[in-house]
Amino acid sequence: MTVALCVALMLASASCGKHYDENDIGDENEIEDVKLLERFNRSGYHNNSTYTLYEYDAQRRITKRSVYYYPEILYYAQTITYNANEIVLGFDSETSITFTQNGNKISFFEGENKSIEIELNAQGLPVKQTSIQVWGSGYWEMQTSTFAWENGNLIQEDWENYREEDGIEDYSIGTVNYIYDAMKSPFYYCTTPKWFLLYWLGVDRCSVNNIETANISQIYSFKDWGRFSNANVQRRANTYNNDGFLATQKDAADTSIHGQSFLYKSIK
């Protein structure tokens, strides 16, 4: 699954935070305390723990993500550059992906043989993503995902994946329905486009609120294993800070001390 530009469009309709509206202000002297995710900690098994630092521009768009192994070993860093009709995601001095917008469609390449297109709705939210990867005349793969949104949250994803090798086709199809809390997500005030956050960081980081439950149903058909299906429910155990933001998150079935935590900075 996939559990993923006009600047004006990105900021006006495709941002992941809520929009400034002077009609919503009750007290003209009131200043909203805007917070941005500064650090994301992930505690893993076998000393595989990392933390991520985020940097932003004056428009509250992410410009850099640096991932470290504890205590201070840089694993990798990514930069984001925003241009008139494109976003450039840089992995190092020689590798990057350029996302180009033409109308309501974003197109880009992953490597030399995989092309991806994202379709946006009138609000600038991603509603469809199609990727095609070709290794040769008889070896290809195509995945299509569609997305449904409600109140700034991605509530349903439907996906189909087809793969053919030497005339034999494998496929998988599935649906995921998401249920959210009413609290602020880590990128609540961030203005990086939601379509980019969905592609880059996944479904957990592109919505206004936080996922509590994911209901998943899938069907697979493989030449070597036959056809089978499954369904399961994934639940998150979330806690929140005094400002109503997500503070910690883990799989509700995980009884260990491992999980994720989030630290924010104020830009009031």
Going along the chain from its start, the domains and CATH numbers come out as: 7-17+33-266 (2.40.160)
Using a pLDDT cut of 70, give the percent of the chain over it: 84
Going 70 to 71 to 76 to 78, the CA torsion angle's sign is: positive
**Predicted confidence (pLDDT) at residue 258 exceeds the cutoff of 80:** yes
Provide the pLDDT for residue 225. 61
Cis peptide before 193 (omega within 30 of 0): no
**Predicted confidence (pLDDT) at residue 194 exceeds the cutoff of 60:** yes
Confidence of residue 27 (pLDDT cuts 50, 70, 90): very low
**Predicted confidence (pLDDT) at residue 6 exceeds the cutoff of 80:** no
Note the pLDDT tens digit of each residue in 142-172. Answer: 999 999 999 999 999 999 999 887 777 888 8
Note the pLDDT tens digit of each residue in 84-139. Answer: 899 999 987 678 999 999 999 999 999 888 999 999 999 999 999 999 999 877 78
Note the pLDDT tens digit of each residue in 220-240. Answer: 776 666 676 889 999 999 999
Whole-Å CA distances, 145 to 150, 156, 163, 200, 233: 17, 10, 15, 15, 20
Q: Does residue 50 contact residue 70 with C-beta atoms inside 8 Å?
A: yes
The position carrying tokens 């002077």 is 22
Q: What is the pTM (predicted TM-score) of this model?
A: 0.83
Tokens standing for 257? 């001390």
Which residues, listed in sequence order, are joined to residue 151 by a DSSP beta bridge?
none
Going 122 to 123 to 126 to 127, the CA torsion angle's sign is: negative
